[in-house]
Amino acid sequence: MMEHQDGGLKIPGLEFSDVAMEASYLAATESSRKLQMRLALLMPALLYLIFSFLDSQVLSAAAATQARIIHVTQGVVFSLLVLFGLRLDSMRYHTGMIAGTVIVAWTDHLYLSTIGGIEALAGEAYLMIMWVWLVSGLHVAQSARVMLIFVIEFIAFWPVNEMASNFIAAHMFYMLAAMLIGSAGGYMTEYYRRQGFISEVRRQEMESQFIQSQKMEAIGTLAGGIAHNFNNTLAAMMSNIYLARLASKNNPDALKRLNSLEDLGGRSAAMIRQLLAFARKDHVVMQPFRLNDLLSAERSLAVNVIDKNIELKFDVCRSPLTVLGDCNQIQQVLMNLLVNARDAVEKIDHPKITCTLRPFKADAAFLHKHPQLHHHSLARLSVCDNGCGIDPEIMARVFEPFFTTKEVGRGTGLGLAMVFGSVNMHGGIVDVVSESGLGTCIYLYFPLVEEVHVPPDNSDVMADPEWQGGGTILLVDDDVRVLATTREVLESMGYRVMDVTDGEQALALFRQHIDEVSLVLTDIVMPGMRGARLARELRRHVPELPIVFATGYDPEDQIHTGDIPPDSMILAKPFSASELAMTLHQALSGAESGQ
């Protein structure tokens, strides 16, 4: 039988199947159980002193001398036990002392009752047995029961003391009743204490989940606000770079530096988009995308999460691996795995994390092991570390919600549960290979789909006269920096521009020049009249008016919240001059063709 840390025997039907939960329970209730043990040890000693005095009053003169010797001896013994128990922290000693106290007190009263001829005195021992078992708990009762049965057998079969044998036989029912009542009381006390502990743990888990959810919502809101301001700044910067390039056509050195600056701006914009994608939640967009591109983008985010002392390697195959899914969810899955790997190697001398992407052909044995798979052609994405590994005892539980081996405050236990759920939703599977002390590899398998058509590079689109504009554009943006630079870019493309900083001004200006405006380019989030409402008001006057939205926030969030229709044309700030030219050309061409 398994033993607890306090030395008591296992309580059948009460122990948590989760070893970690059992350890947490014992740690959380240690102080209260120590108090119960000491109280259970103190009370028999006090009861013994009271009963020993009463015994001396009712015993015959012949037995009084023997009784007095027993009382004095046991009084000293019990006092020493109480003092010893108060000084000891280990409950292992308390269990033995309490069991010994029950046995000594019971046999002492048995002896006094037999020599005094007063059988009713045995009830004192039953009272002490019931008290100790009820207060101290079931595991002590089991220890005491074993010792008590041993003493009873010893006395009952002692050849000289026939009177003791007869006494035990006559009072066996009362002794068993005391054992059963005390055991049942101890069992119920322990049962309700454990149920209360489980309820408290679940309450704390739900509270932790709620707090984590609030944190993620706050992070998403904060990320959106920061991204909006940063994207507006980048939009003005990128427009100025474009204008500077036009003015530096005859200066190759300046063009080289401007191209480098434009590349840095594009990389900054990509990082902001990744941050917004990581903070996005609730809505899922299933569409084909290349895992190769996702890993290339994830590399730039990972360097901000993984400590520099950790060797981080991305090994991505060249052949395109296209899957059907939500790119943002897979991005979060990969980030969760990288964070877990980072935590696993934090105490390793030479930490290393490797992220690998390879094609994988599933054979019959693999499909038999994973019957939910129906594809032979798969993409295998793995994250491996040389960290602490996973113990075999908890391997089967690593994907359970709220299960975590991290200390309090460092993990909610939701990371791998989210990984498992997301991969399953994408029709994939998760495999974990780990060895304690050597490291862990987590393999994600996704079904491959047909290759995605990737549009050609549009960097030279402005060189084509076809993309040069004509007509009048009503430009609306509350950021004067973006407004000024975008106006200059549009004018350099051949458009005539009317610009305003809010929706009310735009609506009034449009009514004055309703026959002149060919297209409206408007920001979405503005003080007062927002872009979506402005578009509705404008189309009341001209239903087929081409409208292009621009935003520094996440475009998918704008669609998801219902601010603008799903089929709207949206430019995500910062946008390049070529993106702007192509979008405007497409919008105007669609209006002319009646689409």
Assess contact for 95 and 140: CB atoms under 8 A.
yes
d(CA 524, CA 562): 12
Residues in a beta bridge with 153: none
Assess contact for 443 and 431: CB atoms under 8 A.
yes
Closest CA to 93 of 143, 151, 24, 147: 143
- Per-residue pLDDT, averaged over 315-344, amounts to 87
Assess contact for 434 and 441: CB atoms under 8 A.
yes
The confidence score (pLDDT) of residue 144 equals 64
**What is residue 402's three-state secondary structure?**
coil
Superfamily of domain 286-447: Histidine kinase-like ATPase, C-terminal domain (3.30.565.10)
Structure token pair of residue 354: 């490797």
d(CA 497, CA 283): 37
d(CA 435, CA 309): 23
* Sequence-ordered list of residues with C-beta below 8 angstroms from that of 595, at least 6 positions apart, any chain: none
d(CA 509, CA 194): 72
Assess contact for 581 and 462: CB atoms under 8 A.
yes
The 3 state secondary structure assigned to 136-184 is HCHHHHHHHHHHHHHHHHHHHCCCCCHHHHHHHHHCHHHHHHHHHHHHH
**C-alpha distances in Å from residue 122, one per residue of 51, 69, 145, 322:** 11, 19, 17, 83
d(CA 409, CA 240): 46
Structure token pair of residue 427: 């029709």
Assess contact for 175 and 126: CB atoms under 8 A.
yes
Gap between the terminal Cα atoms of the chain: 79
Range 400-406 contact pairs with CB under 8 angstroms and sequence separation of 24 or more: 402/205, 402/209, 405/20, 406/343
Of 1-15, 102-116, 261-275, give the lowest mean pLDDT range: 1-15
Q: What is the pLDDT of residues 121-146, one digit of tens each?
A: 555 566 666 666 666 665 666 666 66
d(CA 407, CA 415): 15
Q: Where do we find the tokens 């990509």?
A: 270
* E strand spans, 234-351: 287-290, 311-316, 322-325
β-pairing, 496-500 vs 322-325, is: unpaired
* Sequence-ordered list of residues with C-beta below 8 angstroms from that of 469, at least 6 positions apart, any chain: 490, 493, 494, 495, 581, 584, 585, 588
d(CA 407, CA 330): 27
CATH code 3.30.565.10 region(s) in the chain: 286-447
- H/E stretch holding 442 reads strand 439-447
Closest CA to 4 of 201, 273, 190: 190
Of 4-8, 106-110, 242-246, 267-271, give the lowest mean pLDDT range: 4-8
The confidence score (pLDDT) of residue 101 equals 67
Closest CA to 320 of 417, 127, 124, 451: 451
- Proportion of the chain above pLDDT 70, given as a percent: 60
Backbone angles phi, psi at 497, to 5 degrees: -125, 135
Q: How many helices (H) and strands (E) does the chain have?
A: 18, 12
Q: What is the pLDDT of residues 379-403, one digit of tens each?
A: 999 999 998 887 776 666 666 654 4
- Best mean pLDDT range from 38-52, 188-202, 299-313, 539-553: 539-553
In CATH terms, 461-593 corresponds, of 3.40.50.2300, 3.30.70.20, 3.40.309.10, 3.40.50.300, to: 3.40.50.2300
Q: Peptide bond preceding 565: is omega within 30 degrees of 0, i.e. cis?
A: no
Instruction: Estimate the crossing angle of helix 327-344 against helix 291-302, to 10 degrees.
Output: 50
Q: Where do we find the tokens 């980048």?
A: 234
The distance from CA 421 to its chain's CA centroid, rounded to whole angstroms, is 13
Q: ∠338-341-344 over CA atoms, to 5°?
A: 155
pLDDT reading at 10 higher than 50: no
Closest CA to 272 of 300, 236, 293: 300
Assess contact for 187 and 195: CB atoms under 8 A.
no
Closest CA to 584 of 555, 552, 543, 548: 548
- Per-residue pLDDT, averaged over 273-288, amounts to 63
**Considering the entire predicted model, what is its pTM?**
0.50
Q: Is the dihedral of CA 270, 272, 276, 279 positive or negative?
A: positive
β-pairing, 352-361 vs 311-316, is: parallel
pLDDT reading at 457 higher than 50: no
CATH code 3.40.50.2300 region(s) in the chain: 461-593
The confidence score (pLDDT) of residue 523 equals 92
Position 317 confidence tier, pLDDT thresholds 50, 70, 90: very high
Position 268 confidence tier, pLDDT thresholds 50, 70, 90: confident
